[in-house]
Chains A and B, each alone.
Chain A
Amino acid sequence: MAATSAPLLQLQGISKSFGSVQALTDVDFEVRPGEVMALVGDNGAGKSTLVKCIAGTHAPDDGAIVFEGREVHIHGPKDASKLGIEVVYQDLALCDNLDVVQNMYLGREANRAEILNEPTMEQHTAETLASLRVTTINSVRQTVATLSGGQRQSVAVARAVMWNSKLVILDEPTAALGVAQTEQVLELVRRLGEQGLGVVIISHNLHDVFETATRITVLRLGRNVGLFEREKTTPQEVVEAITAGQPTKVSGITRPAATEPAS
């Protein structure tokens, strides 16, 4: 297998329970660089829990996380950031009262002796937005409160990729958007993949998934029920897996039904 398609992130046999609730059971998951991996499943399928394990919010009870070929232990968002993993949550975590530049640099301000270096931040923000072809924002000095939903999502995504991140996880990035703005954000998601980042997109919307993803991982009741390649599957097949899929993993050996064995 070519070096470029070696997995960027690999989760092996992840299990997680909260008290008596088994949220994840022996889940495998991988993302290659330059690929958009969709993570789909019904409510309560374990998507969010899986992402929180990657982001370091939850520690998995069992299983291993391998990032760039090394096993890693992620104990919090800071650890994840250090590795180059950024999560864009559904509620975006932007400060409405701050402008685009201030939000992009929130918590990592460019400064010298605590004094902000505004020109550098403004310049770099404009460049980052331009490289992602986010052209709908008139001024990087307008407050986020004045932006549309799609623009806000773009800012949140741009912030995630600005820090040399290697893996960006997007939680329901189009959930609150109109048609045109959804298109904008999906375009942005595809572009992240083209730039060589690993992208995970969590979505309820199969249209979005089929528009952007290269592969699709389906979870059901905290277990793997399918791994599909977009070009070799249909929405019907994915819906079937979401609603009635059977666990694809037997006795600890990963052999997802619809794809060739990895490595």
Chain B
Amino acid sequence: MSTADFAAATKTEPTGIAGLWRKTFDNLKSGNLGVLPIVLGLIFIVVFFSFKATNFFTATNFVNIIIQMAGTAMLAYGVVFVLLLGEIDLSISYVAGIGALTVAELQLPGSGHQISGLLAMLCAVIVCAAIGLGQGSIVAYVGVPSFVVTLAGYLVWQGVILQRLEQPGSIIIQDRWINYTASYFFSHTAGWLIAALVTGLYLLSVVATWVSHARAKIANKNLGLTIAKLLGVAAASFGVVAICNHSYVQGNPLGLPLAGVIVVVFLIVLTFLAKRTTFGRHVYAVGGNAEAARRAGISVPRIRIIVFMISAAMAACGGIILAANVNSVDLNFGGGTLLLNSIAAAVIGGVSLFGGRGEVRGAFLGALVIATVSNGLNTAGYATGTIYIVTGLILLLAVTLDTIARRLQVRSGR
């Protein structure tokens, strides 16, 4: 068999609708469920609450859900990278608190160290990344399990927040830049432009992939599927803007919330980091087989430390949005369900706790599910207890499905 024959033999990517079905079926059979179950689940949840609560299926509530999911989603993005390594970061909720405390402190009028909100946010991210550097170094170089290091971090950073806020009880955030992260809404026109921009960028990336594959004489993915995805992205971005542009609060029109745009921008950037860069590839490799990665010349400690820095930096970003949402940081910041919801979001989104498997978009979808359920139950008049119970059951269901799927995968392989 010549090289050309071989290349041709490897190019049996199925084509047409029949091929698409076959590929989907093969994927399902081999346990590669992708985002299908979670999207179906989300649709079910939305339909269910639309009938259950009259105020649920409204444009304004849609905007609420986006803002409610934003903080959790940012933390969950960081969790994805940590879980990909097969590690855990329990400190993120209070590291988020440190991030929020840092911006609150730095924007405090009359404190003598007041700086612009934008600069304050940058400082908060740097401070938290430094925390990640410290925690990651202990995990990577000393070899203390990440569970223990970050559990210690959980306590320490909670303690720092309590110490600082013991006297005032809370710090009000007045800086408009910081508060914008949760309460700025784009004008209707700006919203449409952003939707067009997202669609255009996606189209550009699809075309670029297509051209580079053609140049390297590599079979492209199913054309129908690619076009369907492109239409899906276009429909989603314009659809979201259309709904947001119909939202009102007390008679004033809202629009696309900045928080939503931040979440999507990070989704795109972090997905690129995970899937298209050498660093991202090495994260998956270390999570899959750390010994193999080490033998292949990858600096495993370096990867671990950077991942813990990403986790802490994302926690800072999430913390800022969460604080902006209530215009303050108080004693309880970072407590409650923030930590577990963030980890649950990533896990519901299909990220494996054992490393090497999962995607950033999983955290996005997981956070969306958690926010939608919590919002829906709230709107329908259920108490907090019910919300916890339902969220817990969804988590269990998602992981059970994933585990069963993976067992099938092991059986179909080897």
Asked if B412 is at the interface of the complex by the 8 Å CB criterion, the answer is yes
Query: Using Cβ atoms and an 8 Å threshold, which residues of chain B touch A81?
Result: 297
Among B6, B9, B298, B412, find the residue whose CB has the most chain A CB atoms closer than 10 A. B6
Among B1, B2, B215, B277, find the residue whose CB has the most chain A CB atoms closer than 10 A. B277
- Stretch of A22-30, A44-52, A109-117, A246-254 on the interface side: A109-117
Task: Using known A-B contacts A109-B278, A114-B277, A114-B278, determine if residue A95 contacts B288 with beta carbons closer than 8 Å.
Answer: yes
Task: Using known A-B contacts A138-B10, A146-B412, determine if residue A94 contacts B292 with beta carbons closer than 8 Å.
Answer: yes
Query: Which of A109, A138, A143 contacts B281 (CB under 8 A)?
Result: A109
B289 to chain A, nearest CB (A): 5
How many chain B residues touch A (CB < 8 A): the figure is: 41
Query: Using Cβ atoms and an 8 Å threshold, which residues of chain B touch A138?
Result: 10, 12
Contact yes or no, B278 A131, CB < 8 A: no
Contact bitstring B261-282, A, C-beta under 8 A = 1, else 0:
0000000000000001111011
Contact yes or no, B288 A98, CB < 8 A: yes
Asked if B413 is at the interface of the complex by the 8 Å CB criterion, the answer is yes
CA A73 to CA B232, docked complex, whole Å: 58
Query: Using Cβ atoms and an 8 Å threshold, which residues of chain A touch B357?
Result: 97
Contact yes or no, A97 B356, CB < 8 A: yes
Contact yes or no, A135 B9, CB < 8 A: yes
Asked if B212 is at the interface of the complex by the 8 Å CB criterion, the answer is yes
Contact yes or no, B292 A95, CB < 8 A: yes
Task: Using known A-B contacts A78-B297, A115-B276, A146-B412, determine if residue A130 contacts B7 with beta carbons closer than 8 Å.
Answer: yes
Query: Using Cβ atoms and an 8 Å threshold, which residues of chain B touch A126?
Result: 6-7, 10
Interface size range on A against B: 35 or more
B413 to chain A, nearest CB (A): 4
Which residues of A92-146 have CB atoms within 8 Å of chain B's CB atoms? Answer: 92-98, 102, 106-109, 111, 114-116, 118-120, 122-123, 126-127, 129-131, 133, 135, 137-140, 143, 145-146
Query: Using Cβ atoms and an 8 Å threshold, which residues of chain A touch B282?
Result: 107
Contact yes or no, A98 B218, CB < 8 A: no
Contact yes or no, A95 B6, CB < 8 A: no
Contact yes or no, B278 A93, CB < 8 A: no
A14 to chain B, nearest CB (A): 23
Task: Using known A-B contacts A126-B10, A146-B414, determine if residue A119 contacts B213 with beta carbons closer than 8 Å.
Answer: yes
Contact yes or no, A97 B277, CB < 8 A: no
Contact yes or no, A77 B295, CB < 8 A: yes
List the B residue with the shortest CB-CB distance to A125: B10
Query: Using Cβ atoms and an 8 Å threshold, which residues of chain A touch B414?
Result: 145-149
Task: Using known A-B contacts A97-B356, A129-B6, determine if residue A119 contacts B218 with beta carbons closer than 8 Å.
Answer: yes
A-B contact pairs, 27 of them (CB 8 A): A77-B295, A93-B291, A93-B292, A94-B289, A95-B284, A95-B356, A96-B356, A97-B288, A98-B288, A107-B285, A114-B279, A116-B277, A116-B281, A119-B213, A120-B216, A123-B216, A123-B217, A126-B10, A127-B3, A130-B3, A135-B1, A135-B6, A145-B410, A145-B413, A146-B413, A147-B414, A148-B414
Residues of B within 8 A of A (CB): 1-3, 5-7, 9-10, 12, 30, 212-213, 215-218, 276-279, 281-282, 284-285, 287-289, 291-293, 295-298, 356-357, 409-410, 412-414
Known: A130-B1, A130-B5. 13 other contacts (CB 8 A): A89-B295, A93-B289, A93-B296, A97-B287, A116-B276, A119-B218, A123-B217, A129-B6, A135-B9, A139-B10, A146-B412, A146-B413, A147-B414
- Please name the 10 residue pairs, one residue from A and one from B, whose CB atoms are nearest each other, closest first: A107-B296, A119-B216, A130-B6, A95-B288, A97-B356, A97-B288, A146-B413, A93-B292, A107-B297, A106-B296
